[in-house]
Structure 1
C-alpha cells in the first residue's frame, strides 16, 4: 500500500469520531458516579419489581387526580361506575405508550401519562355554551341512559379534539421538524418551561397536603431522611442460599426505595390513627376513607378504542387542545437532556428526540381514541423520582409498564393504590414538584447570570405567565373578540403557564442582542451534542468496514438491516439518520 494511501486511511479513521467505541464506554463518559443503576443497567428482577412499583405509586396519584377534575365537567354522576373505567383506561394507555417510548421511541426511562396541561384546554372547551352542564334539578330528573349519553357525547368531543390535535406532534416529530427547532430552544427557553411545571402545580400539592399537614409534613421529613440523609446507610437483610444457609447481607434500602418506603411507613401510621379513632370518620387521612373504591371496581375489564362511541371533531375543540399539545412538546424536549444526564446516558441525538416527540403524539392519539379524556406527556413526577432514587434503568420503567397494563385490566389491583391517603400524596408532591422546579433552574448553569439582559428575560418569562394565568382564572370571560371560538382558543393558550413562559423566553432570547457565551449557547451545544448518526468522510475514496457497536438510543432489534439500507440515513427518526 502506498504512503499516500496509508495517510488517507489514517485520516478516515480520525474522521470517524462519532462512532461509539462501545456501549460501556459511551455511557461511562457521561455517567454520574452517584447513579446506582444507569439507563442500560438491568437490576435483578425482584429489585426491578419493587422499583417499578415505586414509579407506579409516584404516577398513580397524578393520574387519578385528573378524572376527579374531569368527570364533574363531563356532567357525570358521582356514583357512576364509569369513573373507575376512565381511571383504568388512562393507566392502561399510560403503560402502553410508555412501553413504546422506552422501547422504540426516545428510549429514555420516561413515563408517558395523562397531564394537567390538557385539563386547562379541556375545561375551557367544556365551558363553551354548547357543552355546559344542565342545571342540577334537570340532571336529577334524567334517566340513567340519558345521563350516560350526556357525558359520553362530551367525552366523544374531547376524544376527537385530542386525537386530531396530536397530529401536530406526530408530524413535527417523525417529520424531523423538531431537529430544526432545537436551534431556537435555548437554556432561557428550558428554564421557564420546566420550572413553571413545578411552580404551577403548587396548588395541587397544597390541596392534597392541607388535608392533614401533620401527615404531609411527616411524609416530607421521612422522604428527605431516606433519600438524602440515610442514602448511604446499609440495611441488614437475612437471605438463604442452598448449601450456604442463612446469612446477612447489607442492602442499600434507603437509596433504592425512598419513595416506596416513605409511602408504606406513613400509610401504616395513618392506619394506626384510623384504628384508634384519632382521626374523625371520613377524614381524608384515614386509611379507610376510600375503601368503597375497591368494592365498586370490577375485577376484570379491558379498555378498547371507541368505548364511549365514535369520536367527533370540531374546529374549536381541535384548536383548543392544540395549546396542550404545544405545551407538552416544549416540556418533553426540556426533559430529554436532563433525564439523560440523570440516568447516565449520553445526550440524546436528533433522531431520538424526533422519535420521542413522534411517539408522544402517537400516544396522545391513542389516549384520545381510547376515550381517556386526556393526552400523554412526560411525567415530571417520575423524572423527579429518578433524581431522588438515583435509579435510571430503562428496564425498571418497562416493568412499571407491565404493572400499569395489568392494573388497567384488573381494576381492583389499581384500586388498592388509589386509596393512599391524600396527605401522603400531598407530601410526596411537595418533594417531587420541587425537584422538577429545581431541575428546570439547573439550566441556569449555562448562562451568565451577571448579564442584565439574561436577568430581564429570566424574570419576565418566569413571573408574567403566573400573573396572566391567575388573572384569566379569576376572569375567564375577560377576552372578548366577538367570536366564541377565538375567545376560547386565546383563553386556553394564555392560561397555560408553561407555554407562555417557554414561548416568551424563547422569543426574547432570540431577538434581544447577546453574545453566544453569555446566552449559554456554547455550553448548551456541548450538553446537547446533537449528533445525527455515524459520520463518514464523504470526500474520501477509501471505504472502511467498521464493526457496528450498539448505542443506547438504537433500536433493540433490526439495526443490522437498517445499516444495510442506505436510504434509512435520510429518515429523520431512524437511528442511522445523517443530517446532510
Structure 2
C-alpha cells in the first residue's frame, strides 16, 4: 500500500509533528555542524541561525516551499583563505556582501522572469545536474561511515553502518502506521544504540557541557580583499539553489520556480546568509539531506520544516543537548546519507523520465553525457580562490552548452531542430 502524501500546506497533529521535526533536524545536523568545526567556530551560533534562517525562508515564501537552510559548504575554501589572512570577522563581511548581492540577483529575476532557465538548463541538462547533487556526495557518505580513506576499516563502524542503513531501507518496506513516516529517525536511533553497544561513543564532552548557553554573537568586519575572495561563490550557491528548488518541486509535485517563485526562494536564502554573516554565523543554503527525507517519507509539510527549525534553535541554546547530538557517530550519519543522497540522484533521473527527453536528438544526448562525465570526473577549475568542481562545474558547462545550442538554433545552423 502506497504511503499517504502529506502536502506542503497540510497541518500535522502534535503527536506526529514533534518526531517528524526531530527527524528533519537529525538529517541536517551532521553536515551542518561540520562547517563551523572546519572553520573553527562554535556550532551553537550556526544551529541558532539555521533555525532563524529557515523560519525566515518559510515566512518570506509564505509557506509554499518546504526547504531547510543549513550551513553552506560552498564557502569553505575561500572562507578558509580569508580567515587565515584576516580573521573570521572579515570572512563574515564577505558572507554579508554575497548575501546582499544575492538579494539583488533575486530582484533582477523578479523583474525579468525565469523563462531563461528553460533555455540555459533544459530537461536534458537539468536532470543530470540534479542527479549529481546526490551522486557526488556518495563518497562523503562512505567517508563519514569510516569505510574509505582509512588505513584499516574498523568492523564496529561496518556493523553500525549496516544496522543504520538496513533499518532505513527495510523500514521503507516493512514499517506500518506512524513508523512508516519516521524511518530515518528510527534508523538513527537504532544506529546510535548499536554504536553504544559496540563501544564507539564518548560522553565526556556531554558531561562537561553546560545546560544552558547563549550562542556567541559577533559583528562582521569588512575588507575589500576578503570580499573579492569570497564573492565568486555567488555563482556556486545560485546554481545549487536552482537545482534544489527543481528537485524539491519534482518531489512535492509543484513548480516552485513559478510559485512561490525563484526570486522569493533565492532572496530568502541570501537574506539568511547576509543576516547569519552579520552576527557571527556561516552562510546558509537549502539542504539536500532534508530534500532526501521528504522523498523517503512523502511528508512535505512546511509545518514540519518549521518545527525542525525550532528544534534547532532549542538545541543551540542547550549545551548538553547540542553536545549529545554531536556525538552521533560517522557510521550512523553515513548509513542515513547513502539512502538520502541516492534519493536525490533518483529525482534527477525522474526529471528525464517525466520530461520524456528524447535521446534520439543529438543535443539531448550530448548535454546529458557531458554533464554526467564532467560532474563525476573530479575535474576542477579554479577561478581565483574559488574552485568549481562536481555538480557546480557540470552545471556551468551545461549552461554554456545549452546557450551555445540556443544561439546556433537562432542562426539556423543546427540539424536537429
TM interval, short-chain normalised: 0.7 to 0.9
2:197 to 272, 280, 285: 272
Return closer, same or farther for 1:308/1:164 CA change in 2, 3 Å cut-off.
Answer: same
Asked if residue 356 in structure 1 is aligned to residue 313 in structure 2, the reply is no
Which of 176, 182, 185 is equivalent to 2:117? 182
Q: Does 1:42 align with 2:24?
A: no
Bigger relative contact order, structure 1 or 2 (CA pairs below 8 A, ≥6 apart): 2
Q: Could you tell which deviates more after superposition, 426-435 or 380-389?
A: 426-435
Stretches of structure 2 lacking an aligned partner (at least 5 in a row): 148-156, 411-417
Partner Cα distance (2:91, 2:132) in 1: 26
Q: Which residue number in structure 2 is paired with residue 319 of structure 1?
A: 228
Aligned equivalent of 1:295: 207
1:340 aligns with: 249
Q: Deviation of residue 438 (structure 1)?
A: 1.9
Residue of structure 2 equivalent to 1:223: 168
Alpha-carbon contact 1:66-1:119 (below 8 Å) kept: yes
Which residue matches 1:56? 25
Residue correspondence of structure 1 range 248-267 to structure 2 within 5 A = 252-267=177-192
Preserved CA contact (<8 Å) 1:195 1:438: yes
Kept in 2, the 8 Å contact 1:464–1:501? The answer is yes
Rg larger in 1 or in 2?
A: 1
User: Quick one: distance in 1 between partners of 2:364 and 2:233?
Assistant: 27
* CA–CA distance in structure 2, aligned partners of residues 503 and 310 of structure 1: 31
Instruction: Give the 5 Å matches for 1:207-218.
Output: 207-210=143-146, 212-218=157-163
Q: What is the 5 A alignment of 1:20-419? A: 34-71=3-40, 83=41, 86-105=42-61, 107=63, 108-125=65-82, 131=84, 154-175=87-108, 176=110, 179-180=113-114, 181-183=116-118, 184-210=120-146, 212-227=157-172, 229-231=173-175, 234=176, 252-274=177-199, 286-287=200-201, 289=202, 291-303=203-215, 307-315=217-225, 317-345=226-254, 347-349=256-258, 352-372=261-281, 374-419=282-327
Hey, what's the Cα distance between the residues in 1 that align with 2:20 and 2:395? Answer: 33
Q: Which residue of 1 aligns with 2:335?
A: 427
Q: CA deviation at 1:224?
A: 0.5
Q: Distance in 1 between matches of 2:37 and 2:350?
A: 33
Q: Contact 1:125–1:320 (CA<8 Å) still a contact in 2?
A: yes
Structural mapping, 1:543-562, within 5 Å: none
Cα deviation digits, residues 396-438 of structure 1 (max 9, x gap)? 1111111111112222222221111211111111111122222
- How many residue pairs match? The answer is 393
Contact kept in structure 2, 1:294 and 1:415, CA below 8 Å = yes
4+ runs deviating over 4 angstroms: 344-348, 513-516
Shift of 1:106: 6.3
Q: Is the 8 A contact 1:384 1:435 kept in 2?
A: yes
Q: Aligned equivalents of 2:244 and 2:76: distance in 1?
A: 20
Helix, strand or coil for the counterpart of 1:512? helix
| Structure with greater proportional helix content | 2
TM-score between both structures, scaled by the size of structure 1: 0.63
**Counterpart of 1:548?**
none
Contact 1:111 1:378 in 2 (8 A): yes
Three-state SS of the structure 1 residue aligned to 2:398 is helix
Q: Secondary structure at the match of 1:377?
A: strand
Paired residue secondary structure (1:495)? strand
1:360 deviation in Å? 0.7
Residue pair 2:37, 2:43 contacting (<8 A) in 1 also: no
Contact map agreement 1:327 1:496 (CA 8 A) in 2? no
Superposition RMSD in Å = 2.5
**In the alignment, is residue 500 of structure 1 matched against residue 408 of structure 2?**
no
Shift of 1:293: 2.9
Corresponding residue number in structure 2 for 1:17: none
Q: Secondary structure at the match of 2:402?
A: helix
Say if 1:405 and 1:450 are closer, same or farther in 2 by CA, change over 3 A. same
1:466, CA displacement in angstroms?
4.3
State the shift of 1:353 in Å.
1.9
TM-fit CA distance, 1:310: 4.0
For residues 390 and 371 of structure 1, do their structure 2 counterparts lie closer, same or farther at Cα, with a shift above 3 Å needed?
same
Distance 1:89 1:505 in 2: 37
| CA distance in structure 2 between the partners assigned to 1:385 and 1:428 by the alignment | 10
What residue is the counterpart of 1:460 in the other structure?
370
CA distance, structure 2, for counterparts of residue 119 and residue 442 of structure 1: 31
Partner secondary structure for residue 395 of structure 1: helix
> Cα–Cα, structure 1 residues 468 and 196, in superposed 2: closer, same or farther, change >3 Å?
same
Q: Deviations over 1:67-90 (max 9, x none)?
A: 23222xxxxxxxxxxx4xx20111
Q: TM-score, normalised by structure 2?
A: 0.86
Matched with 1:247 is: none
CA distance in 2, matches of 1:162, 1:300: 28
Report the counterpart of residue 484 of structure 1 in structure 2.
none
In 1, Cα distance between equivalents of 2:265 and 2:4: 23
Q: Cα offset for 1:515? A: 8.0
- Alignment map for 1:525-544 (pairs within 5 Å): none
